[in-house]
Amino acid sequence: MDDSFLFDDLLLAFWLLVFSWVFLTSAQAIIRDHCHHVNLKNKFKSGGMENEKLLRRTDK
């Protein structure tokens, strides 16, 4: 068995692991932000105009 093929496989496995970690970390942050926004929206749903302004301020 050639050592270069083993090295290529290990390098590919490493980059797949790094890519997966970055993708999952980004997805976790997006989901957390979305859930936070939905929770705020539900919390202030019956609050009136001042709560709507507060909600818009937290969207930015």
Determine, yes or no, domain membership for 36.
yes
Provide the domain limits for residue 60.
23-60
pTM for this structure? 0.54
Determine, yes or no, domain membership for 45.
yes
Determine, yes or no, domain membership for 38.
yes
Determine, yes or no, domain membership for 58.
yes
Determine, yes or no, domain membership for 51.
yes
Number of domains in the chain: 1
Looking at residue 6, its pLDDT comes to: 85
Around Cβ 33, how many Cβ atoms within 10 Å?
Answer: 10
3-state secondary structure of 29: helix
- On the CB side of 55, how many CA atoms lie within 13 Å of its CA? 17
Determine, yes or no, domain membership for 17.
no
> What digits encode the pLDDT tens for the residues 8-30?
999 999 999 999 999 999 999 99
Determine, yes or no, domain membership for 10.
no
d(CA 49, CA 52): 5
